[in-house]
Structure 1
């Protein structure tokens, strides 16, 4: 098997636990360092990982025993941590979005190319059996030529469960940049790259009240649109309509539907790895479930990082920086269109990665 891939983790907040569990179970991975602005959190994480030492962020980025940095910081810090890691010759895999701004994301990939290192980025949920099985249906032509898709993410807001939800309502947050990557990445997986977008946005109220934790009852100022909707023009000719909102209560609509010439496809929640896809054929009697036929069954966050580490030389990771850059341009394009009232053309494109075999 060779030497283990040595990983340093920066950011030990809410999402880090599932990453650490996934990586700790991988036989070809060794977590050698952890860092967080809260040193107590870093010490606690290191105490549960025999191979890891708690370090400062700067020390971790420069460490000789770290080959790749897993960046789990808040979105506003994504670019600084990624660029710092790349400057020390390290590969990077980060939580979504790749950066808060498209310009910062471009800089990350430009620096990585110069340094000869790899960049990967969440979401990797699209590698599970849910989205991959849906894509297999599309690729096999079982609904005919895709014409349109709809995607909906409806929630009343993260302040209801998160003890420190401030960053969700600051630039770089909002429902589109927070939850949109799952849906937009899935749409790109299913229908291919996007050439232009049209968006609109609004916000329900100027403040949110934290409902849980030590800060319960405190108000958080809303600085971004909390409801964003838009239309994506895919290079294939298909049109996708997406809505992401922190201003709704609930929805009975499927997370994603794809409509083709010969049928419609119901796609499971792209925020999860598994889930059941179903097809309604033209002239059929109803929705028919599709058994899993592609994707990684029973996996969890961190699968995209393992895919990056195990990809052969010359083969790009499936949860790649290039896909994350295109997805970020789509989302920032929607926000820019919402502000200007004009269509925004994309400057990037991307090839869909190979279908993930059922495993």
Structure 2
């Protein structure tokens, strides 16, 4: 195990995000008093989950391995119900716990399963993707998808701690690593412009999971999110800024039947949000164009088909930030100056979309 960075997340239920390499050998003691731990994982991470289960058993805790469908296919209410059935069969009590081993989808599912079982048991995400490390695992937002949209059913349930073992990124497909960088770039635009400087200086270094630049970017993005969620667990105020680029992104995911990578949708959503802010007179042209340039430098998409607009607009109307029939977007009034654009008219929305339409 190399040097471990501890990033605190405050609030009523504080915890630490641990960042380092080979953190699972042995795993940190984040669940004292647990007799049993359910280890949720998808098939591609079976070996890692089994290895973690063996280490847990070695310290006197009984593991229960639960395999779930991979990626967004696992974020379904029937999958969560199957997990609850397994916990019931095993006699899980309030002192037992759930561990989610995987990317953002497994993290969201594991947290939701833990939030609902016995009205809330402890849980720990072991994030194995960049997206999970900088976004899904931090902040306590858990949930599943429904036919109505993404993450519309869920709960706020902070973890007991978060493990970001950078060694798990070494075998991550390059496309998945790049997709996770969309969330990192988002943090650069809303709060920490040094992130943007690092990506622009050397995009290849930003995408090298073994190098110091990627670790620096990850830790910076986690700190941005930790700072925001520490003061607003329930997304009743400032936490909304973390949804920058996500209103269109979630609509794209719904239209695509959740077959697009989340980070790809966020990348397009960031470029759209910048265009919207510029046309609304809120953001200068240079900063708006910087969105497209940074996203493109990472090999991420910057456009979406023109004929998809009616379906996207319909999907955005059920966005979590909407209030009644009023759409609300996180925009920038300048670099690292996030704000809310409320009730833009449909023509402005469409005009911004035409700027990114392919």
Flag whether TM exceeds 0.5 (same fold).
no
Which has the larger share of strand?
A: 1
- The TM-score range, normalised by the shorter chain, is 0.3 to 0.5
Q: Calculate the TM-score normalised by the size of structure 1.
A: 0.32
